[in-house]
Structure 1
C-alpha cells in the first residue's frame, strides 16, 4: 500500500481523570482486558473481530486504549510503530510512522548523573513529522517495554498532545494495513520542553538513601529477582557491572507482571500487585529503575495507567549506580535486605527485545 500521509491532533497527556482504587477494582470484573496471548499479526493474516474485542479497555484505565478507540479516532491521531524496521516493512497500521528506537533511548551525562537526552529525542520525533501538540498512539507487537519507552520519551520532552498505547498491539488491529518502506514524511518543528519531573538522577537518589520506601518515595526495581538478589552464578547478573544487588530500600516487582501476552494485565490485578502486595502509595512519589532505561518504562506507564500520581524513571539505571566512580559509599548496593513481590506474566511478540515468529 502506498500514499501514506501524516495526521495530527492536540490534547494533554494527563487529561484523563484520576483513577481510584475502588473504581479499578469494581471495573476489573467487567473489564475486557484479556490475559491470554493472541496469535502474531503476520503478513496476510486477517485479525478476527473477537481477537480485537479481547483487547478493548474499559473502566478507569488511563493511556491504554483498544482497537475500537483507534478506529474512531484514526484521522485525528498520529500512529507510531515501536517495532524494528523489518517488522515495520512487512506489515503495519496504515499511515503509521516508525520510531527510531535508538534515538529515543539516548542519555546525556550530567554532574547529577545520566538523564534523557531530550534534544536527541525531540530531533527523532521531528524527523518523523511529530509535532508537540499531536495526539499520539504508540503500538508494537504487544504492550511491551519498547512501546512504553516511546510513551516515556514523549512525556520526557514535554509532549503537549495526548499519549496512548494500543492494547493488544498490531495483532489486535483489524483495520487497514500498510506494507513496504514508508513514504516520505515532512519533518516537524519539535522544540523540547523537558519535563524533569518524569525522571530522577543518581544524585537525587543518593540524597534519599535511607528514606526510600520509608518516609521517602517508593523505589521499585523491575529486574528479575535473581538480579535484584545478586544470586551467585545466575545468568541474570550483568558481567559488565562492578557490583550486584539493588539500591537500598528498593523492592523487586519484575516488570513482565504488567503484561499478559500482548495485552496489559487486568487492572484489578495490577492494583492488587502494586498497592496491596508492594504497598506503594498512589498519592506519593514512586521511582522505578532497571538495568537499563527501557524495561522500567513498562512499570512507569502501568502505574500511571492505574492512577498513581507521581511516577518517575531513574534513567541511569542500576548500571550507572553499580559502576559509579569515586566514593561509592554515597551509592551503596544492598543485598542483605530483600523484598521480592512475585509476579506472573509473559510478553508476546518482540516488544521485550526477544525473538518473534509468525507462530507467536
Structure 2
C-alpha cells in the first residue's frame, strides 16, 4: 500500500506530521458488494485481515438514512466533499485523501436571541464556505468513530440549510481502505455559502417553556441525552456541572444516554436502536422529538440517529440544559425536576474516542 500527500501539502513548513514521502494507496473498491451490518465489534482483532474485510464490517444495510459504509465513498469519491471532524493535529497526521477540515468552534457557535440561544448559521456557513463547501454539494463527514464531533458537523450543515446530501462514514477513518493523505494541506478554494437557516432543526428555550410538561398532550417527546447521574441531579456526582445553578432535567424528559447510539467505531445495529427508542423509550416516530444535553455537541448523536431510523421531526435544543438551568428571571417558567424520572438503560462505547485515531478492539 502507499500513502499519499495531498497535492497542496507543504511539508517543510509543518514539522508535526509524518514525512511527505510516506505514502499509501488502498483498494478503493475492495469492499464492493459487502453488506455486513452489525458485525462483531471485535472483527479484525483476531486472525489475519485484509483491507476488504476491514471495510466490509462497516457497511450499512437496511432502511437506514445518513450513515454509509466505505463502499459509498468509493463510489462517490469524485463527486462528494469529504469533511474531517477530528482535531487539526490528527488531520495533519493522517486523513482520507483530499479531505477538508472545518474548525470545530465555528460549527458549534451560537448566537443569542430574545427566545434563547440558537445556532449561529452565519458563522457556520462562513466556515463551510472557507472550506470550499457549496450548499448543493453532497458531503460525507467522518472522524475516528461516529461520535458526537461527527454528528455535530452533520447537524451544522442541516441547520445552515444545506441542500446536498449529508452522509456520515460508519466506522470512521478505521473503516476506510482507500487513499490516505498526510501533512499540511493548502487552503481550498473558498465558496460563497449563503445560509438558508433551517429553523425546524432546533428549538429555543422559550419554545420549550411553552410546551414542556403540557397536560393537553401537545408537548414534544423530550430526550435528555446525558448520563443518568446528571439527569437525576444526583447529589455529589462528578457528572454534575459545577457551573449550573440547578440540577436535574426538563419536566417530562426521559433519559437515554447518547453513547447507546455507538458501538465502538460504528453506529449501533439499527434493529437495536429501533427497540431502544420506539419500544423501550416509547417515542412516537410521527411526533416531534426534542433532544438536549448539557451543551450542543453530544445530543446531536441522538438527533442524527433518530433521523437515520425514520423519525421525521427531530430537533435539537441548542442552548442545552446549561442555558435552561441558569436562566435569569422567572425560574417558574423554566422549571427543573428530579422527582419524576424515566431512565432507559443503554449499552455503548465510542471506540478510540471522538478525537482519537486509535482503533479499539474492545469497542
Which interval holds the TM-score relative to the shorter structure?
Answer: 0.7 to 0.9
What's 1:328 paired with?
A: 331
How far, CA to CA, are the matches of 1:309 and 1:329 in structure 2? 31
What SS does the aligned partner of 1:76 have? coil
* Cα pair 2:352 2:359 within 8 Å, conserved: no
1:39–1:359: 8 Å Cα contact kept in structure 2? Answer: no
- SS at structure 2 position matched to 1:313: strand
Q: 1:170 aligns with which of 164, 170, 173?
A: 173
Instruction: State the TM-score, normalized to the length of structure 2.
Output: 0.87
Q: Residues 100-115 of structure 1 correspond to what in structure 2 (within 5 A)?
A: 100-115=103-118
**Contact preservation (8 Å) 2:351, 2:360:** no
How far apart are residue 211 of structure 1 and its match?
A: 2.0
Residues 176-185 or 293-302, more deviating? 176-185
The counterpart of 2:102, out of the listed 99, 102, 110, is 99
| Other-structure match for 2:257 | 254
Q: How does 1:216-235 map to 2 (within 5 A)?
A: 216-235=219-238
User: Counterparts of 1:47 and 1:174 in 2: how far apart (Å)?
Assistant: 9
Instruction: Kindly indicate whether structure 1 or structure 2 has the higher relative contact order, using CA contacts under 8 Å at least 6 residues apart.
Output: 1
Matched residue SS, 1:208: coil
Provide the C-alpha distance between the structure 1 equivalents of 2:40 and 2:226, rounded to a whole number of angstroms.
21
Write the mapping of 1:127-166 to structure 2, written as runs, cut at 5 A.
127-166=130-169
In the alignment, the residues of structure 2 paired with residue 175 and residue 331 of structure 1 have an alpha-carbon distance, to the nearest angstrom, of: 50
The one of 275, 279, 285 aligned to 2:278: 275
CA 1:219–1:358 in 2, change beyond 3 Å: closer, same or farther?
closer
Distance verdict in 2 for CA 1:240–1:306, change over 3 Å: same
Show the counterpart of 1:36: 41
Aligned to 1:27: none
Cα deviation, 1:16-50, whole Å, max 9, x if unaligned, reads: xxxxxxxxxxxxxx86133516789xxxxx97321
Q: Does 1:195 align with 2:195?
A: no
CA contact (8 A) 1:241 1:323 kept: yes
Measure the CA separation in 2 of the matches of 1:119 and 1:328: 31
SS in 2 for 1:220: strand
| Pair 1:39–1:92, CA change in 2 (3 A) | farther
Greater Cα offset, 212-221 or 53-62? 212-221
Distance 1:147 1:169 in 2: 9
Would the aligned equivalents of 1:35 and 1:260 in 2 still touch at CA under 8 Å?
Answer: no
Q: Name stretches of at least 5 consecutive residues in structure 1 with no aligned partner.
A: 6-29, 41-45
SS of residue matched to 2:77: helix
The DSSP-based 3-state class of the residue aligned with 2:134 is coil
Structure 1-normalised TM-score?
Answer: 0.88
Q: Structure 1 residues 62 and 212, CA, compared in 2 at 3 Å: closer, same or farther?
A: farther
Q: Secondary structure at the match of 1:138?
A: strand
Q: Is the 8 A contact 2:143 2:173 kept in 1?
A: yes
Say whether the 8 Å CA contact 2:352–2:360 is kept in structure 1.
no
2:140 is paired with a residue of what secondary structure?
Answer: strand
1:308 to 290, 305, 311: 311
| Contact 1:47/1:172, CA 8 A, preserved across alignment | no
Which protein is bigger by CA-based radius of gyration?
A: 2
The residue aligned with 2:288 is: 285
- Gaps spanning 5+ residues in structure 2: where? 10-34
Contact map agreement 2:260 2:348 (CA 8 A) in 1: yes
Contact 1:38–1:262 (CA under 8 A) maintained in structure 2? no
Once residues 41 and 245 of structure 2 are traced to their aligned partners in structure 1, the CA distance between those partners, rounded to angstroms, is 39
